[in-house]
């Protein structure tokens, strides 16, 4: 884009990449109202005399989200700049993607031969860069990246300050006095959605005995049963969730803490209807209060910030032994020796262990299909009070409730 070029401004629902056309034109007042309430909308900066966008802005403050697309003259998106609105009101650039097209008729995002650069950044400016100048057909490289925070943060723009989101030089913007408009689209018909981290699904049904799920990929029909795994003694209330093989005195704990004391651990175990001997642990729950959960959030360690997660991503703990566990941060062994690991191997599908010489216990449990990375969710009551922690083995991720 040439600096100083005049662009028209069209508020809309978004861009249809298949039709290469704007969808659902909105009045400026409607877009301004959505901006104030956090509801998603889009703004196209279009080339003179056309409805062909050079820049497309997608904004959803309710989800702390904004994204800027650069669009070439063929209607292909060639760059993406994704932002998160942080708790302090700053806008943080978390992800950049750029594509280089070799010919005018090359398909958008052609994985085979379109050049691609991808960069992502964390809260301290630490990042990762991937480069494939000739797409999958050529070589690629990746490595760490670092940017000063001053280059990644900016104030949240006011409505109408499109230039600050456009990632370009100075622009001359023309807002039509009486733009054409279309009826607003229902949320599920809008052409884009903000990046949203993985969210827990069917948690009530997961912990309701007798609920049946049809697993994804035709893996079969399963039924939930609940198993009491014991009570975890927590002198500090700081919960550690980990593969027991990785436990030591320096293991990280979640930022949200439970009241010190003893808390019940309950497992949601699924049993295959056609193969009753086959069971898997779908989730492990540390119960803090026996009240309904009104909302969920991801559990994080002190250095993590859920706003930096991408679409479908989550923070989780890695498992290499097919076993996870709950423990209090003040009750961790200095190291897990072979004898202790042998005791953890007795998990079937859970085991309650008090290490030699310790006052507190560790409750271990089998982890779903085995090794992997698993998120822990925090359940809160309607008044915001802590209800539970749930490690989700993602066994039922994508499954459908059949009976509850």
| Tens-place pLDDT, residues 184-232 | 899 999 999 999 999 999 999 999 999 999 999 899 999 999 999 999 9
> Model confidence over 104-121: pLDDT tens digits?
999 999 999 999 999 999
Supply the range of the domain harboring residue 99: 6-189
- Would you say residue 172 lies in a domain? yes
pLDDT at 160: 93
Task: Give the pLDDT band (50/70/90) at residue 358.
Answer: confident
The stretch 294-310 carries a mean pLDDT of 96
Tell whether the model's pLDDT for residue 14 goes beyond 70: yes
* 318 belongs to a structural domain: yes
Tell me the helices (H) and strands (E) count for the chain, helix number first: 4, 25
Q: Indicate whether 177 pLDDT > 70.
A: no
pLDDT at position 357, please?
81
Same domain, 12 and 145: yes
Assess whether 34 and 162 both reside in one domain: yes
In a shared domain, residues 153 and 246: no
Position 166 pLDDT exceeds 80: yes
The mean-pLDDT minimum among 47-51, 153-157, 176-180, 235-239 falls in 176-180
pTM for the full predicted model: 0.90
Q: State which of 160, 189, 218 marks the end of a domain.
A: 189
Q: What is the pLDDT of residue 312?
A: 96
Residue 198 lies in a domain: no
Do 66 and 33 belong together in one domain? yes
Q: What pLDDT does 5 receive? A: 72
Q: Is residue 354 part of a domain?
A: yes
Query: Do 180 and 211 share a domain, yes or no?
Result: no
Beta strands in 185-307 (DSSP E): 212-214, 221-234, 239-242, 261-272, 275-287, 295-298
At residue 176, does pLDDT exceed 80?
no
Whether residues 119 and 267 share a domain: the answer is no
The answer as to whether 298 is a domain residue is yes
- Say whether pLDDT at 168 is over 80: no
> Pseudo-torsion of CA 98, 104, 105, 106, nearest 10°?
-30
Least confident of 24-28, 281-285, 333-337, 342-346: 333-337
Let me know if residue 168 belongs to a domain.
yes
The answer to whether residue 178 scores a pLDDT higher than 80 is no
Share of the chain above pLDDT 90, in %: 85
- 244 and 287 belong to one structural domain: yes
Boundary (domain end) residue, out of 167, 189, 211: 189
pLDDT of residue 3 exceeding 60, the answer is no
Please check the confidence at residue 404 and state whether its pLDDT lies above 80.
Answer: no
> Measured between alpha carbons, how far is 12 from 57 in angstroms, rounded to an integer?
10
Q: What does the pLDDT look like over 23-38, one tens digit per residue?
A: 999 999 999 999 999 9
Q: Are 131 and 218 in a shared domain?
A: no
Q: Which of 146, 161, 189 is the last residue of a domain?
A: 189
Within a 10 A sphere around the Cβ of 240, how many other Cβ atoms?
22
Whether residue 247 is found in the same domain as residue 344 = yes
Q: What is the pLDDT of residue 348?
A: 92
Q: Which residues of 301-324 are buried (b: 16+ CB within 10 A; e: fewer)?
A: eeebeebbbeeeebbbbebebebb
Residue 1 domain flag: no
Domain co-membership, 88 together with 236: no
Spatial CA neighbour of 44 closest among 33, 55, 34:
55
* Nearest alpha carbon to residue 248 among 323, 391, 390, 355: 355
**Cα 340–chain centre separation:** 34
User: From residue 8, how far is each of 2, 48, 173 by CA, in Å?
Assistant: 14, 6, 6
Number of domains composing the chain: 2
Predicted confidence band of residue 179 (pLDDT cuts 50, 70, 90)? low
Across the chain, mean pLDDT equals 94
Please give the average per-residue pLDDT across 168-196, as a whole number.
83
Residues 313 and 398 in one domain: yes
> Could you tell me if 90 and 185 lie in one domain?
yes
Q: Is the pLDDT of residue 175 over 80?
A: no
Inside any domain, residue 195: no
Residue 291 has pLDDT above 60, yes or no: yes
Q: Which residues pair with 264 in a beta bridge?
A: 231, 287
How many CB atoms are closer than 10 A to CB 190? 18
């Amino acid at each position: 884009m040439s600096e100083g070029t005049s662009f028209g401004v069209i508020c809309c629902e978004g861009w249809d990449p298949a039709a290469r056309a704007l969808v659902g034109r909105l009045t400026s007042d409607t877009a301004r109202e959505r901006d104030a309430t956090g509801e998603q909308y889009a703004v196209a900066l279009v080339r003179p005399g056309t409805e062909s966008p050079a820049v497309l802005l997608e904004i959803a403050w309710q989800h702390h989200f904004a994204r800027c697309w650069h669009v070439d003259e063929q209607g292909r998106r060639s760059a993406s700049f994704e932002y998160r609105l942080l708790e302090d009101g700053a806008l943080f650039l978390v992800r950049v993607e750029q594509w280089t097209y070799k010919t005018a008729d090359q398909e958008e995002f052609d994985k085979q031969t379109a050049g691609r650069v991808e960069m992502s950044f964390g809260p301290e400016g630490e990042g990762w860069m991937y480069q494939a100048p000739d797409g999958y057909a050529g070589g690629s490289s990746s490595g760490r990246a670092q940017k000063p925070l001053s280059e990644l943060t900016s104030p949240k723009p006011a409505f109408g300050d499109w230039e600050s989101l456009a990632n370009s030089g100075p622009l001359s913007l023309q807002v039509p006095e009486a733009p054409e408009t279309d009826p607003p689209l229902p949320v599920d018909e809008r052409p884009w959605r903000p990046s949203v981290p993985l969210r827990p699904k069917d948690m009530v049904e997961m912990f309701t005995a007798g609920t049946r799920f049809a697993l994804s990929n035709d893996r079969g029909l399963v039924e939930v049963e609940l198993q009491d795994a014991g009570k975890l003694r927590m002198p500090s209330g700081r919960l550690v969730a980990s593969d027991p093989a990785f436990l030591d005195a320096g293991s990280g704990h979640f930022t949200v803490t439970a009241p010190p004391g003893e808390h019940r651990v309950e497992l949601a175990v699924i049993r295959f209807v056609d193969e009753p001997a086959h069971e898997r642990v779908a989730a492990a729950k540390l119960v803090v209060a026996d009240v309904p959960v009104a909302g969920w959030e991801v559990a994080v360690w002190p250095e993590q910030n859920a706003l930096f997660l991408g679409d479908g991503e989550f923070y989780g703990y890695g498992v290499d032994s097919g076993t996870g566990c709950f423990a209090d941060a003040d009750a961790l062994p200095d190291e897990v020796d072979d004898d202790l690991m042998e005791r953890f191997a007795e998990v079937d599908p859970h085991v309650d262990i008090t290490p030699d010489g310790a006052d507190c216990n560790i409750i271990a449990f089998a982890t779903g299909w085995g090794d992997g990375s698993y998120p822990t969710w925090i359940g809160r009551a309607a008044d915001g009070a802590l209800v539970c922690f749930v490690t989700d083995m993602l066994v039922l991720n994508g499954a459908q409730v059949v009976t509850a």
